Structure 1
């Protein structure tokens, strides 16, 4: 597994490189990923605006800052993502804010379609759902857990909607975006902080 982690890290982007890569592709009317379509380019454009907004508005609560300040080990937050993914647009900027709070965290991002082997290790109920965060101990490159593709309550919203309506349609996606807007990244921060604290105790 450490060889796979090394290979994935060699193939990773910093947050700014990831943002620039998405922007450059959009200038040519393209999205990240192996599949190209007008829809995916449209979603990528929407997501770029979302990420721009979140970078300005997301605040890390003091309670989370204190817990991050208490980390003893260094960790790599390896996130599997794509520019067209609506959940990733809501979550990756939040993870970046967390990483900026402490020198114990380093954010690396890989694209799902370029990292099949890694994605296949971290499927969600058999699906290639993203974003997926793999928590890696920096000294050993050992994976200490994973998180994603959504915070617990957001995942429940989608599961409940699908159980009731049998399909995830535009209304479900709108409800999900409203949930993210209201949550302000706090559930994501709390759940990832808990994952970090558990990893520190291993």
Structure 2
């Protein structure tokens, strides 16, 4: 398992926000010309503003019926904690899909944590040594036992981004192309990966 079981405590969960409250936080940051979290700059504020539009649109992404059936039939309740920030494009694309999916099942509760405000949790769930987000951490809702994790993006999109990095594009152009590719995928790759991951998480929950 990627993290020690005591990294996510009831106290940490108590500080997390449901998706709708996170969305309100992002909207408030836009209204104030800021971004979410502890890191602030005009650049991050602009990304936060751009991503709000993406999040509100992506929340309408069609969900796979077989995936919806799977989350509805979970044998034990799961808590999905997602490390995120308003300035993160991949979070803007994928977090709303996760939230919409969680809404389909009484067995799943999705909550969000700001990466900059929870460094200990982020450090426990690094991706190749980096603090990449979004990062979904699946937990047994009753025991907070970690079941598995996902993120920051589906493998097919990750490979595209790695190839894009080799082109050494200007940062804004890199962000635009990466985000466009993720948006065009429209949650398809994410949902396909969850279909593979959920049975593993179910097995872990039943121990």
Number of matched residues? 200
CA distance, structure 2, for counterparts of residue 189 and residue 33 of structure 1: 28
CA distance, structure 1, for counterparts of residue 24 and residue 92 of structure 2: 14
CA distance, structure 1, for counterparts of residue 185 and residue 80 of structure 2: 21
Match of 1:157 in 2: 160
Q: Does 1:173 align with 2:168?
A: no
Query: 1:84 Cα deviation (Å)?
Result: 0.6
CA distance, structure 2, for counterparts of residue 52 and residue 34 of structure 1: 23
Choose from 118, 122, 129 the match for 1:119: 122
Q: Does 1:39 align with 2:38?
A: no
Q: Does 1:106 align with 2:106?
A: no
Q: Does 1:12 align with 2:11?
A: no
CA distance, structure 2, for counterparts of residue 142 and residue 97 of structure 1: 23
Q: Does 1:25 align with 2:29?
A: yes
Query: 1:66 Cα deviation (Å)?
Result: 2.4
Runs of 4+ in 1 over 6 A off after TM superposition: none
Query: Is the CA contact 1:161–1:168 (under 8 Å) kept in the aligned structure 2?
Result: no
- For 1:48-197, list aligned pairs within 5 A: 48-55=52-59, 57-163=60-166, 165-166=167-168, 169-197=171-199
Tell me the secondary structure at the aligned position of residue 73 of structure 1. Answer: coil
Describe the shift of the 1:199–1:31 C-alpha distance in structure 2 as closer, same or farther (beyond 3 A). same
Describe the shift of the 1:181–1:154 C-alpha distance in structure 2 as closer, same or farther (beyond 3 A). same
Q: Which runs of 5+ in 2 are unaligned?
A: none
Tell me the secondary structure at the aligned position of residue 25 of structure 1. Answer: helix
